[in-house]
Amino acid sequence: MENSELKLSGEVTQEQIDAWKSNVQKKYGPNAKVSAYEVDGKIAYLRSVDRDTYSAAAAKVSTSPAKFNEVVLDNIWLGGDEDIKKDDRYYFGLIDFVEELMAKKKGSLKTL
């Protein structure tokens, strides 16, 4: 794919996406995923959140609760249009998806 075929700002080739998928699964396990977030003709690529990233973000909450999402996004960001991280309008839209990127498996809880 040539750059002229790329339609979104920050878009990468399928080969790059495949490489990210392979690397993410090798490092974080077979359930780790690569996701794309699109807004206003821009795209960002993120991996699912792992426990170490969550712990690093949680450690920042005591100093500034707003830092939690910032630390998570900095750690799971693979590439794309940097405006999504830097422009508050895009950043606030993206942080709505942080919990979804945690790839949780919820069970049921019963009081016994």
Query: pLDDT band for position 56 (50/70/90)?
Result: very high
C-alpha–C-alpha distance, residues 100 and 96, integer Å: 8
pLDDT at 50: 93
Please tell me the class of the 3-99 domain. alpha beta
pLDDT at 4: 54
pLDDT at 105: 73
pLDDT at 102: 84
Report whether 76 contacts 53 (CB < 8 A): yes
pLDDT at 88 over 70: yes
Phi, psi dihedral angles at 102 (to 5 degrees): -85, 0
- Percentage of residues in the chain having pLDDT higher than 70: 94
SS3 20: helix
**Residue partners of 103: CB distance under 8 A and separation at least 6:** 31, 32, 33, 48, 49
pLDDT at 83: 96
Query: pLDDT band for position 98 (50/70/90)?
Result: confident
